[in-house]
Amino acid sequence: MGVKNEFFLLILLSCFPLAAVSQVMTPAPLPYGPTPGENQLRWQQMEYYAFVHLSVNTYTDMAWGLGNEDPHIFNPKELDCRQWARICKQAGMKGIIITAKHHSGFCLWPSKYTEYSVKNSPWKGGKGDIMREMADACKEYGLRLGVYLSPWDRNHADYGKPEYITYFRNQLTELLTNYGDVFEVWFDGANGGSGYYGGANETRKIDRDTYYDWKNTYKLVRTLQPNIVIWNDGGDRADLRWVGTEAGYVGETNWSLLNATGDVPEDMLRHGLENGNTWVPGEVNTSIRPEWFYHPKEDSKVKTLPQLMDTYYHSIGRNGTLLLNFPIMPNGLIHEKDEKAVMEMAQAIKNVFAVNLLKGAKAEATQVRGSDQRFAADKAVDEDNNTYWTTDDHVTTASLTMNFSKPVSFNRFLIQEYIPLGQRVKSFTVEAFVKGEWKEITKGTTIGYKRILRFSTVHATRLRLTITDSKSVPLISNIGLYNAPQILAPPSIAREQSGDVRIVAADVESQLYYTLDGATPTLKSNRYTGPIKTGDGKVVVKSIAYDPVTKNSSAVSEEKFDIARRHWTIAGIQDTNVYQVLDGNVSTQWYQDKNSKMPVDLVIDLGKEEQISGFRYLPEQNWWATGIITRYHFFVSQDGQQWNLADKGEFANIKNNPLWQSKTFSTVKGRYVKLQALGNTLNDNVVGYAEVDIITH
């Protein structure tokens, strides 16, 4: 080295401390694998936002509109988008996605490309625009606006033809041009089937991967809204993915990755693809009630606080976002029970995460990248998501120990990766120093943007995180430790075929109280000690769980039961297991003989003549259920020989939301009923049932 160069080096060393030179000399880790785009990262940081569903089928009490509903039935006289926005803001949500057009084709804005919209409804004399009111309300409350536009349109005459794509894109242009910034556009996965189609009244099928020309449709979307993210579960890969269910959870292992092309099996929707070549994170969409649109019968089925908190931990707590739906009532408002539930959830979340027990804790790591303080252990507990603890290249297993100034009690562990540089961690363990030794209290697989683990309360002085497997050097940006208050889950209520009612507590130490007259149960009500004899008639059962130690009571459970099935028999099927269809236990199921060449009709003898005004069907209640009926005929007979068709139709959206399906019709007298399956979700001949019931006048 020449004298001149040595002179300049001495000047450099004298101007910068050794630590500063070290920092300059230690490079940050390089990105590993796919990474999120700016729009995706901004969306992930929202975490929690709302869906709202309102359309013509709100007024027909149907899951999906058929496309032939008269626009004159649409009249939400008290509609107030500011109420929606206020509730969402107070609930901690960051945005609202509005169903501008569902499958019926009815538009909540006065589209100039169709007459099937609010402009031909009595609401505001045809001069209203719900999209405009929603956009204005979001702006007022500081919420981001999203838009749902169903690709399927059961009203439009050109659906299934090339001309419809022009119509579809024209409507997209209206929505993405006239209402300000839009953070997300949502394209539903239901495409093609029976519909009105301008009066054709026929079934039309399309190839959803090619029909919409998604490549150019996405190009239009991004041109009109450069900061948007696109949700779609069909066709070319979008920015976000569906998680394969509407039940409110994503897989415990959840990679934010898929391949850019190729089919996506259901299992991959839940878990992502560890070595996928494209960043496609999961969005968990679910409703605060069983279905997406408002149904009065679901006023007693609003999700309880424990259910909503489970959804929170199984979505945001598993590296997803949560899109929670409010079904709007026919008057145009969110129901007070829905508001109460979501506010309780907001308060519960605040209670859980109010105090981070790691604040002020001293952190030590087994390895720090380049011994550089920019990557030191304390960067994982500084509550700054833009800093992180990491290790030297090729060091993919390491531990981080946090020491408390005094013993603490905790039951929630939160951890985040620095995802701008990719998702890396494959597995980790969490240990607590209890009574002088390390004890594993929980473990996890993937982390991603955020992971939250629940476990029984631990009392300890030290905590240790160990990354046991990682695709590259781990980057841990945040760790939190919390002590969540207990939330008592409401009991479950079931009625057996005998007519007896059983009530089961989620917590075996709870006391149960119930009423049979519709009154709200209290500690002065009947205490449950065993099966309740209710006779053969209809009955409304309400129950609460009570913890005598904490003095807390659960939310009220409510079930409405029709006539008992005590005397019912099933005709023509020799397999005695078929009576699991009537046993009142939603966890049991019966399937026809798998070797049958055609679906088997389920014929039930009610024992005597009844005034029948509907029926209910529940498919098997597990992820891998088969034989889920989609289309049906329902018959009634006096003698079991001559049958009258009482109802026919579809169980809309049952594949994604396999809950109780209720169908009503004009009252018919009969002793025998027959449920005939015409199709299932897999298009084979398998038919399965968890439960079948009737609705009497």
Q: What are the structure tokens assigned to 651, written together?
A: 């169980």
Is the per-residue pLDDT at 7 higher than 60? no
Domain 569-696: state its class: mainly beta
Q: Which of the four pLDDT bands, split at 50, 70 and 90, describes residue 43?
A: very high
Give the residues across from 476 on adjacent strands: 389, 417
Nearest to 303 by CA among 275, 262, 268, 338: 338
Q: Which of the four pLDDT bands, split at 50, 70 and 90, describes residue 598?
A: low
Q: How many residues does the chain have?
A: 697
Tokens 């005034």 found at: 611
Q: Burial level of 687, CB count in 10 A (0-12/13-18/19+)?
A: buried
Amino acid at residue number 265? P
Give the residues across from 462 on adjacent strands: 403
Q: What are the structure tokens assigned to 389, written together?
A: 């603890």
Query: How do residues 49-68 score in pLDDT, each as one tens digit?
Result: 999 999 999 999 999 999 99
The mean per-residue pLDDT over the stretch 31-56 comes to 98
In this structure, CATH architecture of domain 492-561 = Sandwich (2.60)
Handedness of CA 56, 59, 65, 71 (dihedral sign): negative
Nearest to 19 by CA among 376, 311, 405, 284: 376
Query: How do residues 318-341 score in pLDDT, each as one tens digit?
Result: 999 999 999 999 999 999 999 999
Give the residues across from 327 on adjacent strands: 53
362-482 and 569-696 share one CATH topology?
yes
Nearest to 182 by CA among 174, 170, 194: 174
Nearest to 269 by CA among 286, 287, 283, 248: 283
Per CATH, which fold does 48-338 belong to? TIM Barrel (3.20.20)
Q: How far apart, in Å, are the Cα atoms of 590 and each of 139, 367, 566?
A: 52, 56, 18
* pLDDT at site 3: 40
Query: How do residues 543-590 score in pLDDT, each as one tens digit?
Result: 999 999 889 999 999 999 999 999 999 998 989 999 999 999 999 999
Give the residues across from 541 on adjacent strands: 559
d(CA 298, CA 289): 7
d(CA 422, CA 255): 10
Query: How do residues 182-221 score in pLDDT, each as one tens digit?
Result: 999 999 988 999 999 999 999 999 998 899 999 999 999 9
Higher-pLDDT residue of 509 and 299 is 299
Q: Where are the domains of the chain?
A: 48-338, 362-482, 492-561, 569-696
Average pLDDT score, the chain? 93
pTM over 0.85: yes
**Please, what is the Cα angle at 416 between 415 and 420, to 5 degrees?**
170
* pLDDT at site 597: 67
Is the per-residue pLDDT at 13 higher than 50? no
Share of the chain above pLDDT 90, in %: 87
Contacts of 473 (CB under 8 A, 6+ apart): 29, 32, 369, 390, 391, 392, 393, 394, 395, 396, 424
Amino acid at residue number 287? S
Per DSSP, the three-state class of 543 is strand
Per CATH, which fold does 362-482 belong to? Jelly Rolls (2.60.120)
Query: How do residues 391-442 score in pLDDT, each as one tens digit?
Result: 999 999 999 999 998 899 999 999 999 999 999 999 999 999 999 999 999 9
The DSSP code for 334 is: B
| Region of poorest pLDDT, from 230-239, 354-363, 599-608 | 230-239
* pLDDT at site 234: 62
Q: What does the buried/exposed string (b/e) look like for 522-540 if buried means 16 or more CB atoms within 10 Å of the residue's CB?
A: eeebeebeeebebeeeebe
d(CA 675, CA 104): 27
Where do the DSSP E strands lie in 310-418?
321-327, 362-365, 389-390, 398-417
The mean per-residue pLDDT over the stretch 669-678 comes to 96
Higher-pLDDT residue of 48 and 267 is 48
Query: How do residues 625-640 score in pLDDT, each as one tens digit?
Result: 889 999 999 999 999 9
Higher-pLDDT residue of 236 and 478 is 478
The mean per-residue pLDDT over the stretch 498-519 comes to 92
